[in-house]
Amino acid sequence: MNKRKLLILIAVFALSLVGISLRGGPVPYVFFWLTLLVPAVCALYILFVMIFLKIYQRSDGRTMVCGTPTDFYITLNNESPFSFSSVRIKFYSSFSTVTGLDDGCVYELPPHSSLTRMTPLLCRYRGEYLVGIKEMIISDFLNLFSFRYRIKEPLSVIVAPANIRLETLRYLEEHPDADRDSLKDRPRPDIPVREYVAGDDTHLIHWKASAVMGKLMVRERTGTEKSGIAIIMEASRYSDKPEDYLPAENRVIESVLALAFYYMGNGVPVDVIYYSGRAVTVPVRTPGDYERLYEAMRGYFFGDEGNTVRLLDELQQEMCWQYSIIIPVLIRFSAREHDLIGRMNVAHVPVRVYLADDNADAAGETGGIEVIPVGTKAPTEDVL
């Protein structure tokens, strides 16, 4: 609503009432009726535009890739015999960007005309959400009133995670011997177990077998440990607001994919472990393995807050001797997660946590666990 014009209209209406009361005559009545009819006509005009303005929008496919622009088309149709004087478009801007059109641009549509615009659309986060036109703002020909309304058929897209190729890792630049030293072969216990005897390493106790047998059982050392890496992916969603969970989940997915591809490309066996009702392990040894992981991550659904704890609880008995490095990629790192991950570290396997939390402290070590905050705001390739 244009407050200045409305005040002028109210002032003219008051003067017309004074003129009618004091003098009468046609002139005060003309002003009186004009001040009543003009707002009504303007309101009816806006309603008319809403009825006859048709809006169409589409993109090149409903599936997009995070960080990759795609062509986006907008068409405004005036199907009436009257001109539309002021039409503005507002876009969804929290998770996507329309780079070629300005929210403040005012469009005028002559009778029976059509206006089409093509512009790049860039989605910032992996997931499913609304993009494109969010609402319309229609003003009357005197710009006295403006009416804002949401369009009835918003555009929903599915955004796949970005494929990020890392030449190196920032952590390895600061600690160049970290992975090399961790990936040296070490003796490991295989699945066969035997009864515990005095002098056996207590780290080799197989607790599940001990519970079944009713006595302490230990794993036998019969070979060399796998020189591989386990990437454990966050499984929980901590908010029901897209503006909270989309950036964090996107950073987790992109980090897991980027780390898996980096190690695979350097000839290091990688297992990506995530939760889908149970712990699921995806081995990544070849580009084909990576493609299978990528497809799994496209539609992965983060569950309730307890999923990460359930995942870590399932893994703690089995992770100690299978891998040379354990890399959890998490959104939160509470005392509960710290305790469960710490139990994986009883065999002194290096643990490096990547934390997608904008409020996390600077990188450091806590309880023998290296914590590297990667946040959600900077590009993934700049923080890994």
Mean pLDDT across the stretch 140-148?
Answer: 82
DSSP 205: B
Alpha-carbon gap, residue 265 to 287, rounded angstroms:
9
275 pLDDT more than 80: yes
- Whole-number pLDDT of residue 186: 43
For the segment 211-270, what is each residue's pLDDT rounded down to a tens digit?
667 788 776 654 444 568 999 999 999 999 999 999 999 999 999 999 999 999 888 899
- Could you give the dihedral angle defined by the CA atoms of residues 113, 114, 115 and 118, in that order, rounded to the nearest 10 degrees? -160
Q: Residue 78: which residues within 8 A CB-CB, separation 6 or more?
A: 52, 53, 84, 109, 110, 111, 112, 113, 114
- Whole-number pLDDT of residue 312: 87
Q: Residue 10: which residues within 8 A CB-CB, separation 6 or more?
A: 35
Alpha-carbon gap, residue 379 to 375, rounded angstroms:
10
Mean pLDDT across the stretch 342-348?
Answer: 66
- Terminus-to-terminus CA distance in the chain, angstroms? 49
- Whole-number pLDDT of residue 338: 86
- Whole-number pLDDT of residue 177: 66
- Whole-number pLDDT of residue 359: 86
For the segment 77-134, what is each residue's pLDDT rounded down to a tens digit?
998 998 998 899 999 988 999 987 877 788 899 999 999 989 999 999 999 999 999 9
pTM of the full structure: 0.77
- Whole-number pLDDT of residue 317: 61
Domains detected in the chain: 1-160 (2.60.40.10), 170-186+226-383 (3.40.50), 192-224 (no CATH)
User: What share of the chain in percent tops pLDDT 90?
Assistant: 37
More confident residue, 80 or 194: 80
Mind giving me the DSSP string for 291-356? Answer: HHHHHHHHT---B-TTHHHHHHHHHTTTSTTT-SEEEEEES---HHHHHHHHHHGGG---BEEEE-
- The answer to whether the Cα torsion of 293, 297, 301, 305 is positive or negative is positive
- Whole-number pLDDT of residue 69: 92
CA neighbours within 13 Å on the CB side: how many for 120? 8
For the segment 40-89, what is each residue's pLDDT rounded down to a tens digit?
788 888 889 988 999 999 988 778 999 999 999 999 999 899 899 889 99
Alpha-carbon gap, residue 178 to 350, rounded angstroms:
9
